[in-house]
Amino acid sequence: MVRQADRTRQPIIRPSFVISGEGWTPDECSRLIGIAPDETGTRGERPAGKGMPFLDTRWEVRVEQRGHYIDGPVRALLDRVWDRRSEIEAFLDQTGASTYVYCAVSLFGEPAGYSLSAESIRRLAALRAEFSLDIVDYSES
């Protein structure tokens, strides 16, 4: 059993599947794909009216889990969109949009494992998704 004190030292793994581009709206993307996004952004607009403007129009679903290996959260993320891959592919062909998975890893004292399973890689490729891993070690001093 994992004690609460230990759990707070576990990495937080937060992968996002993003459809990115311009010349379309996130609502159009949601309608055509048939999945409700967790977050959207429109190129040039500032999130909540402040901060940096988005560089692209984006439609995003994400997963957040504590754990030591990135493959589980990435698989859970890909599971959210896998059944709609045909619709996603059609949207990409129609709009020229691209996809990527951005995996944010926050470290708090315990290490993370950064390997992906063959099945995850196969699904990433089928979804035409680039993979980007971003690690921030908050325990680093």
Partner 1 sequence: MGGVGLSSTGGGAAAGVPVIAASTAVIAHGTLAASTGVADLLSSPILMKGSGEGGGDAPNPGNIKRVKGGRLRDLGINAHKVKKFLGKEASNFDIAQSSSGGAYLISKDKETIIDLEAQLIDLAD
Rounded CA-CA distance 131/103 in Å is 8
In the bound complex, what is the minimum distance in angstroms from residue 23's beta carbon to partner 1? 15
User: CB-wise, 34 or 136, nearer to partner 1?
Assistant: 136
Rounded CA-CA distance 60/9 in Å is 27
∠ CA(85), CA(130), CA(108), 5° rounding?
110
- Near partner 1 by CB under 8 A: residue from 32, 76, 92, 133: 133
* Count of CB atoms situated within 10 Å of the CB of 11: 24
The alpha carbon torsion through 66, 41, 101, 7 (nearest 10 deg) reads -10
5 binds partner 1 (CB under 8 A): no
Q: Which 11-70 residues touch partner 1, going by CB under 8 A?
A: 14, 18, 20, 41, 43-44, 47, 50-56, 58
In the bound complex, what is the minimum distance in angstroms from residue 15's beta carbon to partner 1? 11
Q: Helix (H, G, I), strand (E, B), or coil: what is residue 46? A: coil
- Near partner 1 by CB under 8 A: residue from 102, 112, 123, 124: 102
Of the candidates 108, 118, 109, 116, the one whose C-alpha atom is nearest the C-alpha of residue 133 is: 116
76 binds partner 1 (CB under 8 A): no
Q: Which residues bind partner 1 (CB under 8 A)?
A: 14, 18, 20, 41, 43-44, 47, 50-56, 58, 100, 102, 104, 106-107, 130, 132-134, 136-141
